[in-house]
């Protein structure tokens, strides 16, 4: 990454942290007022790290993911936000799921949807011949909050069945397939940044605990087993950070996919090892670790889980008879 020097980037991250800490949710108007979108246009990598990295570190959220993916789909900064694929849809390459009662469902960031606004929805499999990008009315969507693992992420399940019938077709065929691949790559870059922030905070909490707690008259961080677990998390975090950086230098779909896979590896490694280092306190509601454990799991599932994306990479390798390279050496 290039652009801002380290001191400028640190100042920007501190500013975003203060803004995010002042509210559980950050709306688009506030970001625009802060000049974040202007920075995004000029230096997207630094803007993404400042916002999404701090969202991960503070377990806060904003509607920016859906908004930027919508803008990437249409090539228009003023485009409506896009509805996100359901967690299990990627196994079949779809952007929506047909429920048992026949309803067509997707996911949405609740704060991205204005009651009197519009949204973008990919109907069908983006790489299929019959897929369409539709502009739908938010008022025609049936929304149900997703209150499971992490309600603070403010995801909602959206029944788009009625909205699709009155939606306006915007794109289809090869044009849609290409546009969706680029939007998906952007979304995965942003999620990789946020997941890196989540893992960094998990590691910080574990290190803080290991250096402040003692057993047998010694800080637990001095024990070799604890050092090894924290070292493994640090290595996974470093790899995820470098992969995310490479995805901004080379924003190809495969590079972004691999960045999210490696961020997913870091999330899984941190969730396991940091939890063990924290011991019993890490299982309590009083300790903040659970916020990051739950947030990391959900972010890792959005836009393709580690297992789904690994299967996709494997299929591509078999088809192309060539192993993708994350970064040139």
Is residue 140's pLDDT more than 90? Answer: yes
Is residue 33's pLDDT more than 70? Answer: yes
Mean pLDDT of the chain: 89
User: pLDDT digits over 276-287, tens only?
Assistant: 999 989 889 999
Q: What would the mean pLDDT of 166-177 be, rounded to a whole number?
A: 92
Count Cα atoms within 13 angstroms, Cβ side, for 194. 26
Predicted pLDDT at 1? 52
Q: What would the mean pLDDT of 207-232 be, rounded to a whole number?
A: 86
User: pLDDT digits over 308-323, tens only?
Assistant: 888 888 887 888 888 8
Q: ∠ CA 162-163-165 to the nearest 5 degrees?
A: 70
Q: What would the mean pLDDT of 149-166 be, rounded to a whole number?
A: 91
What percentage of the chain carries pLDDT values higher than 90? 60
Is residue 224's pLDDT more than 60? Answer: yes
Residue with more model confidence, 266 or 99: 266
Residue with more model confidence, 125 or 54: 54
Predicted pLDDT at 100? 59
Give the pLDDT band (50/70/90) at residue 99: low
Q: What SS3 class is residue 84? A: strand
CA distance 171 to 95: 15
Q: Which range is least confidently modeled, 92-106, 110-124, 132-146, 256-270?
A: 92-106
CA distance 72 to 21: 28
User: pLDDT digits over 269-278, tens only?
Assistant: 999 999 999 9
H helices present in 170-212, as ranges: 173-212
Give the pLDDT band (50/70/90) at residue 124: confident
User: pLDDT digits over 203-212, tens only?
Assistant: 999 999 999 8
Give the pLDDT band (50/70/90) at residue 89: confident
Strands (E), 162-307: 168-172, 214-215, 218-219
Prediction pTM value: 0.93
Helix/strand/coil percentages in the chain, nearest 5: 60, 15, 25
CA distance 116 to 262: 39
Predicted pLDDT at 91? 65
Does residue 174 come out as left (phi exceeding 0), alpha (psi in the -120 to 50 range) or beta? alpha
């Amino acid at each position: 990454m290039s652009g801002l020097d380290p001191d400028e980037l640190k100042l920007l991250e501190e500013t975003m942290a203060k803004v995010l800490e002042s509210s559980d949710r950050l709306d688009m108007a506030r970001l625009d007022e802060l000049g974040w979108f202007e920075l995004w246009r000029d230096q997207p990598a630094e803007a993404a790290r400042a916002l999404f990295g701090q969202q991960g570190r503070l377990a806060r959220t904003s509607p920016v993911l859906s908004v930027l993916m919508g803008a990437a789909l249409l090539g228009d900064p003023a485009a409506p936000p896009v509805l996100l694929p359901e967690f299990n849809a990627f196994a079949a390459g779809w952007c929506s799921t047909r429920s048992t009662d026949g309803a067509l469902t997707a996911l949405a960031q609740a704060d991205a949807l204005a009651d009197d606004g519009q949204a973008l929805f990919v109907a069908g499999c983006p790489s299929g011949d019959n897929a369409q990008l539709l502009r739908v009315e938010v008022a025609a969507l049936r929304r149900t909050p997703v209150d499971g693992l992490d309600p603070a992420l403010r995801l909602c399940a959206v029944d788009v069945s009625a909205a699709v019938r009155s939606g306006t077709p915007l794109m289809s065929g090869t044009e849609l397939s290409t546009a969706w691949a680029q939007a998906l790559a952007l979304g995965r870059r942003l999620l990789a940044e946020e997941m890196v922030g989540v893992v960094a905070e998990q590691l910080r909490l574990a290190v803080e605990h290991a250096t402040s707690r003692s057993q047998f008259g010694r800080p637990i961080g001095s024990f070799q087993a604890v050092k090894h677990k924290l070292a493994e998390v640090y290595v996974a975090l470093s790899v995820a950070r470098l992969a995310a950086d490479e995805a901004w230098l080379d924003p190809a779909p495969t590079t972004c996919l691999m960045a999210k896979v490696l961020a997913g590896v870091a999330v899984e490694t941190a969730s396991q090892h940091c939890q063990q280092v924290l011991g019993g306190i890490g299982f309590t509601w009083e300790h903040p670790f659970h916020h990051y454990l739950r947030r990391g799991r959900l972010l890792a599932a959005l836009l393709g889980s580690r297992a789904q994306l690994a299967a996709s990479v494997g299929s591509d390798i078999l088809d192309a008879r060539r192993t993708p390279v994350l970064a040139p050496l």
